[in-house]
Amino acid sequence: MSRKAMTGNGAIALALKQAEPDVMSAYPITPQTEIAQNYAQFVADGAVKTEYIAVESEHSAMSAAIGSAAAGARTITATSSQGFALMWEMLFIAASLRLPITMPVITRALSGPINIHCDHSDSMGGRDCGWVQLYGEDAQEGYDNAIQAFRIAEHMDVRLPVMTMIDGFIISGAIGPLEVLQDDQVKQFVGPYEPIHPLLDIDNPVTVGAFDSLGGWYFEHKVTQNMAMDKAMSVIESVGREYGQLTGREYSHFKTHMIEDADIVLVAIGSAAGNVKTMVDRLRAGGVKVGMMKVRTFRPFPHLQVAGALAGARVIGVMDRSDSFGAQGGPLFTEIRSAMFEAPRRPQTFNFIYGLGGRDIFPDDIEGAVRLLEKAAAGEEISQKRYYLNVREVSLDGQA
Amino acid sequence: MSKKWKFSDIVKWGPGRHEPGATIPESGTAEQYETGGWRTERPIRDREKCNDCMICFFACPDSSIRVENGRLVDIDLKHCKGCGICAQVCPRDAIEMKNEIEARMEEGKKEEEKV
Amino acid sequence: MAKPKEIANRPERLTGGHRLCAGCGAPINVRQIMSVCPGPAVVSVATGCLEVSSTIYPYTAWKDSMIHSAFENAAATISGVETAFRALKKQGKISHDMYFVTFGGDGGTYDIGLQALSGAVERGHNFLYVCYDNGAYMNTGFQRSSATPCGAWTTTSPVGTESFGKTQNRKDLAEILVAHDIPYVATASPHNFKDLMNKAEKAFTTPGPAFINVISPCPRGWRTPGDQTIALAKEAVQSCYWPLYEVEHGKYKVNYKPRPERKTPVADWMKKQGRFAHLFKRPDGEKVLAEIQEYIDRKWQELLKKEECL
Ligand SMILES: Cc1ncc(C[n+]2csc(CCOP(=O)(O)OP(=O)(O)O)c2C)c(N)n1
Ligand code: SF4
Ligand code: SF4
Ligand code: SF4
Ligand SMILES: [Mg+2]
């Protein structure tokens, strides 16, 4: 293991290089471009054996990845925002064909208006496409998740594609410290690739992607797909433990901080978890019984474990970096709220939507949220559940 | 990894029984599906007139003109849909399209005679 | 190319038992093309009649490995397959040879899949793309595509008091592929199976991307009797509606040139198809037919000139 200073994108490109898949297909889009470029350079320099497909669109990036994975090659791609949206159709198909493609997603707002900065509307919009979704807080987690993704995706009980998120610009473009494994350690951890029913096996020709309509087995296939998602839950944990033995950094579905005796718990995902933690520590010092949870696994959503961990909370504030138009709150909020519904002592839940289109979130915003949650914890009746942080002419107490 | 499927069983298969990704792990399984029942007319080839030119073979949409050692041996009635292309393209008028029901009745008679 | 008799002895690569309509042109084209594929292949098929009818789970008519993922991306999908092959071959994990072929309908090729096709041939993947052109979106019930001929009825170029069917001419797809400067481009017809198989064999054995556009009569959408499929393909060629030519490394060769007296009026061919029936009844029909003939003649002359110059 060695220490380096790297951008989030650099860290992820390095992880991919060390895993050295057979095929990468990619198309540039801010803020993911650096990964596509760096990898193309690795190929040009002969640093990897990977074949690189410089496709003409993200739709083709995912289509080519599907072809390559079905052919029997370990395959990756990477994207952001509009590219993710353009892949949309193929994301579902990759998952339903049970192809263990892995894909870093450098999260960015979706148009319109067009905006190149971070929020989670791209990846959160894809939460039901059948991919395993892991969110990282910083470059280190982005690196670690990108490596673990191969093991999770390729596990024989799972065989589902995995996307690993880091926040666009905030993490992808910022230089930070990184603990780096040696190439051979990564290769050994990732292990050899074992395809199932590869198209290239001339002794066993197969048909992939058959028509299966009314009177067929579509429903059975879909149920099977969700069974694989259920199995991914424990595989993510076991791979995270094994990775911990190798690196000292153990991973599970989420991390908690100061929740044992907390009345108030903030739940966050992505890079904002760092700010939240700082604020939790500061408020704790001031006597507020507040803790936090940082979610890593969003699909499959670890609802039982989450409910267990948050069982003691009286009030939960969920921080979402994307909105869900017309829903009761952002995607993380609706998951957490649903997970807590059957808790023996059902907590109050509030949603704080922040950071859309890269809008900053300041300590004051988080503190304001906690102050509101404190009132709820003290028994005050608060009917409004959804709040927006740091929006012009919108304040926490005057929100409509 | 390929295994032979028993089609009568698959009908009952619930989740988890199929291959991952709903892949069909064998090739050419459609051979076991009969489309002969679609036919309203049946091609009957006159061996005498036929010179095995293969024109009908390349024109059949349903792979139903059976060829062995360069000779047209018979027509695969399990799959032939009776489109009539073979009769239409044959330069020697060696194929005649016959009403399927009549053809079946004639077949039945022949069977009876055998018995 | 081997003699047709020898080719007919080879094992079938598309079985019977698929669910394409009786008399459909698509499987005829597939059978002819696959019969000259020199080795095991991976076939990628775009959503459309051919795909849905040849792979109704758990039945597949394909003897080679086949992949369908979506409608507009068959060329991108095979790009991935072919690249995986090169990657694994380079690493010594595969030693055999393989061929890569894509079948897309005219909708999946001229229209929604044009970008993926353009990208794949520009990148130079070693594969053959076959467009089976039946002149409309047949699988969804006969909607116009940019390959639908002028004057044809479809459900989205309907006939009415204000409309004689499709008002535009066809997109010249083969020329678009020629403009990509790929090693091999051809048009073909299943009635001339020797020509089609000869072209397919060249396409398979030419390194790099190759493209063949085959006419694929559709009895349902053309409103024609099922036994006329081959005859209609032949007349399309004789009328120069569907010229047979190939472009090898930029060099044009017209494979069939009817003598002027044998070049049939395109209206004769159209008259046999229900999709054009209105043109022979309505007052503006004659004018439309004359314009169509003029267009066909112009394109034919242009093609002959290209053969001379290029
Ligand atoms: C993205 C997308 N849009 C539309 C469709 C619906 N669709 C399926 S097949 C098809 C038409 C196919 O036409 P063509 O490619 O000409 O093939 P054909 O059915 O005529 O053989 C359409 C519109 C689809 N499957 N996917
Ligand atoms: S009738 Fe049609 S399907 Fe039957 S053998 Fe002749 S061409 Fe083939
Ligand atoms: S086309 Fe006629 S002559 Fe030729 S093989 Fe077929 S049946 Fe015989
Ligand atoms: S609708 Fe046309 S193209 Fe589709 S299967 Fe029927 S005949 Fe073939
Ligand atoms: Mg079509």
Shortest Cα distance, chain A CAs vs residue B92, angstroms: 39
How far, in Å, CA of B80 to CA of B73, rounded?
14
* Interface contact flag, B21 A223, Cβ < 8 Å: no
Give yes or no for B11 touching A (CB within 8 A).
Answer: no
Q: Are C179 and C98 in contact (CB under 8 A)?
A: no
Q: Where residue C219 sits, what CATH number does that domain have? A: 3.40.50.970
Q: Is the dihedral of CA A306, A294, A20, A94 positive or negative?
A: positive
B79 contacts in chain C (CB < 8 Å): 15-17
* Interface contact flag, A206 B17, Cβ < 8 Å: no
Q: Are C150 and C284 in contact (CB under 8 A)?
A: no
Mean pLDDT in residue range A273-289 = 97
Would you state the pLDDT for residue B5? 83
Chains contacting A with at least 3 CB pairs below 8 Å?
A: B, C
Residue-range definition of the domain harbouring residue A11: 2-247
Shortest Cα distance, chain C CAs vs residue B115, angstroms: 31
Under DSSP, is residue C233 helix (H, G, I), strand (E, B) or coil? helix
How many angstroms does the Cα of residue C28 sit away from the middle of ligand 2? 11
Give yes or no for C15 touching A (CB within 8 A).
Answer: no
Atom of ligand 2 nearest to the CA of B41: 1
Q: Are residues A243 and A258 in the same domain?
A: no
pTM of the prediction?
Answer: 0.98
Residue-range definition of the domain harbouring residue C207: 4-309
Report CA-CA distances (Å) from B7 to A107, B1, C79, C131. 46, 18, 33, 33
Mean pLDDT in residue range C265-274 = 98
How far, in Å, CA of A263 to CA of C128, rounded?
65
Q: Tokens in use for B53?
A: 């030119």
Residues β-bridged to residue C23: none
* Domains contained in chain C, number: 1
How far, in Å, CA of A205 to CA of A195, rounded?
14
% of chain A exceeding 70 in pLDDT: 99
Mean pLDDT in residue range A149-164 = 98
Mean pLDDT in residue range C211-233 = 98
Does residue C197 register a pLDDT over 70?
yes
Q: Are residues A240 and A102 in the same domain?
A: yes
By the 10 Å C-beta count (0-12 exposed, 13-18 middle, 19+ buried), B106 is classed as: middle
Mean pLDDT in residue range A19-26 = 98
C56 contacts in chain B (CB < 8 Å): 30, 33
Would you state the pLDDT for residue B111? 78
Average pLDDT over all residues of chain A: 97
Q: Is the CB of B84 under 6 A from ligand 2?
A: yes
Average pLDDT over all residues of chain C: 98
How many angstroms does the Cα of residue B89 sit away from the middle of ligand 3? 8
Report CA-CA distances (Å) from C123 to A52, A53, A340, C71, C182. 11, 8, 52, 20, 10
* Interface contact flag, A68 C98, Cβ < 8 Å: no
Of B32, B54, B82, the CB nearest to C17: B32
Q: Chain B residue with minimal CA distance to A216?
A: B11
Q: What distance separates the 2 farthest-apart alpha carbons in chain B?
A: 55
Last residue of a domain, one of A216, A247, A278: A247
Does residue C78 register a pLDDT over 70?
yes
Would you state the pLDDT for residue B2? 43
Shortest Cα distance, chain A CAs vs residue B23, angstroms: 5
Would you state the pLDDT for residue C205? 98
Under DSSP, is residue A72 helix (H, G, I), strand (E, B) or coil? coil
Q: Are residues A237 and A285 in the same domain?
A: no
Q: Are residues A272 and A234 in the same domain?
A: no
Beta-carbon contacts of residue C240 (< 8 Å; ≥ 6 apart): C258, C263, C266, C296, C297, C299, C300
Q: Is the CB of B103 under 6 A from ligand 3?
A: no
Q: Are residues A223 and A304 in the same domain?
A: no
Beta-carbon contacts of residue A318 (< 8 Å; ≥ 6 apart): A266, A267, A329, A330, A332, A333, A336, A337, A349, A350, A351, A352
Under DSSP, is residue A272 helix (H, G, I), strand (E, B) or coil? helix
**Residue from B46, B49, B53, B96 to probe ligand 3 pocket by mutation (most atoms less than 8 Å from CB):** B53
Instruction: Report which DSSP code applies to C137.
Output: B
pLDDT tens per residue, range A99-115 = 999 999 999 999 999 99
A 10 A CB-CB count for C68 gives 26
A 10 A CB-CB count for A219 gives 11
* Domains contained in chain A, number: 2
- Please report, as a single letter, which amino acid is at residue A303: H
Residue located via tokens 């399209």: B97
Q: Is the dihedral of CA C22, C27, C29, C34 positive or negative?
A: negative
Would you state the pLDDT for residue B82? 98
How far, in Å, CA of C120 to CA of C80, rounded?
10
pLDDT tens per residue, range B52-107 = 999 999 999 999 999 999 999 999 999 999 999 999 999 999 999 999 999 999 98
- Looking at C91-156, list the stretches that DSSP marks H as alpha helix, in order from N- to C-terminal side: 106, 114-123
pLDDT tens per residue, range A221-246 = 999 999 999 999 999 999 999 999 99
Q: Is the CB of C131 under 6 A from ligand 1?
A: no
Shortest Cα distance, chain B CAs vs residue A129, angstroms: 14
Would you state the pLDDT for residue B109? 85
Q: Report if residue A393 sits inside a domain.
A: no
How many angstroms does the Cα of residue C63 sit away from the middle of ligand 3? 26
% of chain C exceeding 70 in pLDDT: 100
C70 contacts in chain A (CB < 8 Å): 63, 89-90, 93
Q: Tokens in use for C180?
A: 């990509």
Instruction: Work out the pLDDT band at B8, boundaries 50, 70, 90.
Output: confident
Q: Are C144 and C154 in contact (CB under 8 A)?
A: yes
How far, in Å, CA of B15 to CA of A170, rounded?
43
Closest of C79, C59, C68 to residue C104, by C-alpha: C68
Atom of ligand 2 nearest to the CA of B95: 6
Does residue C295 register a pLDDT over 90?
yes
Chain-centre distance of CA A30, in angstroms? 18
* Interface contact flag, A207 C52, Cβ < 8 Å: no
Last residue of a domain, one of A208, A228, A247: A247
Mean pLDDT in residue range A271-296 = 97
- The third-level CATH classification (topology) of the domain covering B33-114 is Alpha-Beta Plaits (3.30.70)
Instruction: Report which DSSP code applies to C124.
Output: T
Among the bound ligands, the one closest to the CA of C222: 4
pLDDT tens per residue, range C80-104 = 999 999 999 999 999 999 999 999 9
Under DSSP, is residue C196 helix (H, G, I), strand (E, B) or coil? helix
Mean pLDDT in residue range A354-364 = 97
Q: Are residues A41 and A79 in the same domain?
A: yes
Q: Are residues A182 and A275 in the same domain?
A: no
pLDDT tens per residue, range B11-63 = 999 999 999 999 999 999 999 999 999 999 999 999 999 999 999 999 999 99
Domain regions of chain B by residue span: 33-114
% of chain A exceeding 90 in pLDDT: 98
Q: Chain C residue with minimal CA distance to A198?
A: C65
Q: Are A290 and A262 in contact (CB under 8 A)?
A: yes
Instruction: Work out the pLDDT band at C48, boundaries 50, 70, 90.
Output: very high
Atom of ligand 1 nearest to the CA of C111: 15
pLDDT tens per residue, range A34-51 = 999 999 999 999 999 999
Q: Are residues A192 and A315 in the same domain?
A: no
Instruction: Work out the pLDDT band at B3, boundaries 50, 70, 90.
Output: low
Mean pLDDT in residue range C280-293 = 97
Of C42, C55, C79, the CB nearest to A64: C79
Last residue of a domain, one of A210, A231, A247: A247
Would you state the pLDDT for residue A399? 58
* Interface contact flag, A210 B20, Cβ < 8 Å: no
How far, in Å, CA of A229 to CA of A153, rounded?
10
Would you state the pLDDT for residue B7? 85
Count, in order, helices (H) and strands (E) of chain B: 4, 4
Q: Are A259 and A280 in contact (CB under 8 A)?
A: no
Q: Chain C residue with minimal CA distance to A63?
A: C77
Shortest Cα distance, chain A CAs vs residue B11, angstroms: 8
Mean pLDDT in residue range A62-81 = 98
Mean pLDDT in residue range C232-254 = 98
- Identify which has the larger pLDDT, A1 or A363: A363
Would you state the pLDDT for residue B1? 38
Would you state the pLDDT for residue A365? 96
